[in-house]
Amino acid sequence: METYFTIKESKEAELTEQRSRFLSYVFPASNKDEADAFLDKIRALHPQATHVCWAYQVGAPDNPTSYYSDDGEPSGTAGQPILQSLKQNELQNVVLAVVRYFGGIKLGVRGLIDTYRAAAENVLAATEKIKKQASEEIPFSCPYSFYNTLLYKTEKLEGEIKEASFGESVKGSVIVPRVNAAQIKAFLEEIKHS
């Protein structure tokens, strides 16, 4: 997976169905720990909620994985529809939670599936989708005389210099899209042999 879509920032939305309130939250998370921490925060925000159902896809670009939970709703009626929304929107590194406050009227299996999907779609519609490229971090050490050329090449290849330190030589790392990594590595090899 060289490119994938994620979200720019967290958002929330609300939906009411048959007097039940459904509060949707979406958050960017690159790994399971970040997603779990976000879910803990949502649970703490809503200690009286009937259910906190969720799904997430994390680990892109190298190890994408999906998880979901119905949190006590009938099996397959909450977590899976939320996960399907993430998949249909082609989103990675995103966690989406739907908090339900029961309003006294049962929705039935089909009603739950439709409502959890609608709650997920509702918050995703308010979210800006962004395209990300798989990147690679390449350490470097170069003489001052080559640093400006390295800066130029890095910017031209849609990368950035990270944590450059200036001593006897310039040391740091270059972060570039993986598809451009070979060009930066070749340039760094040229510098070594100059």
Please write the tens of the pLDDT for every residue from 96-117: 999 999 999 999 999 999 999 9
> How far, rounded to the nearest angstrom, does the alpha carbon of residue 53 sit from its chain's CA centroid?
18
Q: Which domains are present in the chain?
A: 3-131 (3.30.230.30), 134-192 (3.30.1370.10)
Q: Give the model's pLDDT for residue 2.
A: 80
Judged by DSSP in three states, 67 sits in strand
* pLDDT tens digits, one per residue of 44-77: 999 999 999 999 999 988 889 999 999 999 999 9
Check: CB of residue 23 under 8 Å from CB of residue 12: yes
Check: CB of residue 172 under 8 Å from CB of residue 161: yes
Q: Give the model's pLDDT for residue 43.
A: 97
> Which residue, chain included where needed, has tokens 């929330």?
12
Phi, psi of 192 (to 5 degrees): -60, -35
Instruction: Give the burial string for 71-98 (b: 16+ CB within 10 Å, else e).
Output: bebeeebbbbbbbbbbeebebbbbbbbb
Q: Give the predicted TM-score (pTM) of the model.
A: 0.77
Q: Give the model's pLDDT for residue 136.
A: 87
Q: Which of 48-52, 131-135, 140-144, 181-185 has the lowest mean pLDDT?
A: 131-135
> Which residue, chain included where needed, has tokens 């190298």?
62
Mean pLDDT of 129-136: 89
pLDDT exceeds 80 at position 1: no
Phi, psi of 72 (to 5 degrees): 95, -15
Neighbours of 12 (CB within 10 A): 16
Check: CB of residue 33 under 8 Å from CB of residue 40: no
